[in-house]
Amino acid sequence: MRTNDRFEWVVRGLVVVFAVAMLVVGALFYGLIRDLTAGWTGTGLNPFRPAARASEVAGSGPVQPTPTIFLPEVTPIPWDGSTRVTILLLGLDYRDWVAGLGAPRSDSMILLSVDPLTKQVSMLSIPRDLWVEIPGFTHNRINTAYASGEGNRLPGGGPALAMRAVEALVGVPIQYYAVIDFSTFERMIDEIGGIDVLVMERIKIAPIGRLSLWLDPKAYHLDGAQALAYARVRKATGGDFGRAERQQQVAMAILDRVTGFDMIPTLVAKAPTLFQELSTGVRTNMTLNEMIALAWMARDISSESIHRGAIAPPGMVGFYTRPDGAQVLRAVPDQIRQLRDQLFVDTSAIAP
């Protein structure tokens, strides 16, 4: 009899302990969900935040965390799926920022535009030394727009000012931007297993942290560091303009690689890693839904529907040396306009 009573009390005690434990677990779960919900911005990937500036670290005291740079984001109107969507791709070298040299200049600018109705894609490379009017500032090289926007704490920061500068140059409304850090670019190409590139001329590349090497005119399979070096090299035929061509070539190679059938299992398997890379090294104002919608649409676009162009000599730029000795490129508006019309107007769904 006593044994049974004890057993009953033990059972009751266990029930009470379990009930209390569940309440504790519930409280923890409540806190977790609350913090996750409160921390989710819902505006796509997180903004890129450099680790810490050298000037901030240089002091003898303990390393201070990088102060959060809060620049109000200019939220675009959500894409409705039928109007042309244009994205400004900006390549940045954040090592300048980390080294305490201030906000970085954009190293490469590519305007990517997709018309969902005609399934036509246009890609325009913009040279970084192009002399343009930066809205709100004086004339300067177009690659200074990003740094000016960040440095002056404009709404939307550097990307917004860069978008406005390119809009004023080309005229095409730009809804989105994607800023990618070089190191992220490298790692992402490594994650997808490298890219295949057909080198058109003998060229010397210098991958970061490795010895330089010569590439002969033939097909190569490049890893991340090599691909980045190939896209950035300037000491080759065409200088900056050949560089723009190579950047588009690399972009197309990435697209080919990612959309290849054999890549689907790899992408699925590496999705967490790729998302982590994107989260930490890419800054964009696109939402995840918009990115998925665009990626979904990309399946229907053939390589023949991708039109590429570059603001390049002859005709579209003039070479000038400023009184301070700076060599810049003058934009020739009517010639750039002709290229713009070929890339963005002739491919538009707005037609009779």
Contacts to another protein from residues 231-290, by CB under 8 A: 245, 252-253, 256
| Residues in region 182-221 near another protein by CB under 8 A | 196-198, 219, 221
Residue type, 27: A
**Does residue 104 sit in helix, strand or coil?**
coil
8 A C-beta contact, residue 130 and residue 336: no
Other Cβ atoms within 10 Å of 28 Cβ, number: 10
Task: Give the pair of three-digit tokens for residue 96.
Answer: 């300048």
Q: How far is the CB of 217 from another protein (least distance, A)?
A: 11
Determine which residue in the list 12, 102, 289, 341 makes contact with another protein, applying CB under 8 A: 341
Determine which residue in the list 103, 111, 163, 310 makes contact with another protein, applying CB under 8 A: 310
| Residues in region 148-187 near another protein by CB under 8 A | 152-156, 164, 167-173
Letters for 91-110 (x = contact with another protein by CB under 8 A, - = none) are --------------------
Total of chain residues touching another protein, rule CB under 8 A? 101
25 touches another protein (CB under 8 A): yes
| Candidate segments 51-59, 94-102, 276-284, 332-340, binder of another protein by CB under 8 A | 332-340
Q: How far is the CB of 121 from another protein (least distance, A)?
A: 9
8 A C-beta contact, residue 112 and residue 178: no
Q: How far is the CB of 61 from another protein (least distance, A)?
A: 28
139 touches another protein (CB under 8 A): yes
| Residues in region 61-80 near another protein by CB under 8 A | 70-72, 74, 80
Determine which residue in the list 10, 69, 117, 269 makes contact with another protein, applying CB under 8 A: 117
Residue type, 251: A
The CA distance from 290 to 43, in Å, is 10
Prior bond to 314 cis, omega within 30? yes
Task: Give the pair of three-digit tokens for residue 278.
Answer: 């994107």
| Candidate segments 29-37, 92-100, 106-114, 272-280, binder of another protein by CB under 8 A | 29-37
Q: Which is nearer to another protein, 1 or 211 (CB)?
A: 1
Strand blocks (E) in the chain: 85-92, 106-115, 120-126, 130-133, 139-141, 176-181, 195-198, 203-205, 213-215, 219-222, 282-284, 306-310, 317-321, 327-331
8 A C-beta contact, residue 125 and residue 311: yes
